[in-house]
Structures are given as structure tokens and as C-alpha cells.
Amino acid sequence: MKLKLTLWLLSLLLKRALRRKPRFREQLERMRGLDWGVATEDLSIARYYRMSPKGIVTGKGLPVDLDLELRFRDQDAALKILKKPTQQAFLDGMVAGEVRLVGDSADMNKLQKLLKNM
């Protein structure tokens, strides 16, 4: 339940940043949008985010056409890494088998740069 709430709150924070933070908006315009999602490996909890300069759409589940997916071993691993979403935390999680990146790692770098401006 905590992970579902965390991912839902993330969607609110992203929408708020788009409205209020010019730097966030500029970065998103430069990227021309990004579609990404977060899920547990068994897909019991999953949420996607379709971000563009015009708006952010979010919902339950993982569509197949996302640019980037972050798949976590379980809820506890997801919460642990998402509380401090640094590049080092994700690398350590990948080495430990707690997180798997589906997609291009360049998109992960774009996402991290964007989230710094929230």
C-alpha cells in the first residue's frame, strides 16, 4: 500500500512541478517528453507517467510502449531506492538484483536530470 501511495503522490508532484517550476518545464521541453513507468517484478503494483511539455498523464499499469521501465524486486526494495533516488542508489540496486532497468539507460539519465528540478 505504501508503494501505491508513493507512486500516486509522485504523479501529483510531477504535475505540480510542471505548473510551478520553469526549469522543470524547460528541461521537459528540451527532452520533448518522456514516457516511463515503475512496477514490481510481478506487476502487482505498476504506474506509468507520460510526460510532455503540454501536460502529464498518469495511470495504473504498464503500457507496452513506454520508453523506460523501472522494475523493482518487491515493494520494500522499491521504497528503499525511491526514497533516495540517486544514481548511486540505482546502480547499487542493479548490482544487488533489486532493480531492473527496461529500456535505454540514456532515458534514465534524462529522467534523473529532470527529477532534480522538481
What is the edge-to-edge ordering of all strands in the sheet holding 34-40? 55-60, 46-52, 34-40, 68-72, 99-103
**pLDDT at residue 118, as a whole number:** 80
- Range(s) of the domain holding residue 11: 2-116
**pLDDT at residue 87, as a whole number:** 81
**pLDDT at residue 113, as a whole number:** 86
CA dihedral 35, 71, 3, 92 (to 10 degrees): -110
Mean pLDDT of each 10-residue bin along the chain, 118 residues long: 92 94 92 92 95 93 92 93 84 91 88 85
Nearest to 58 by CA among 73, 37, 77: 37
Indicate the angle between helix axes 2-20 and 22-31, nearest 10 degrees: 100
**pLDDT at residue 95, as a whole number:** 92
Domains of the chain: total: 1
pTM: 0.88
CATH number of the domain encompassing residue 67: 3.30.1050.10
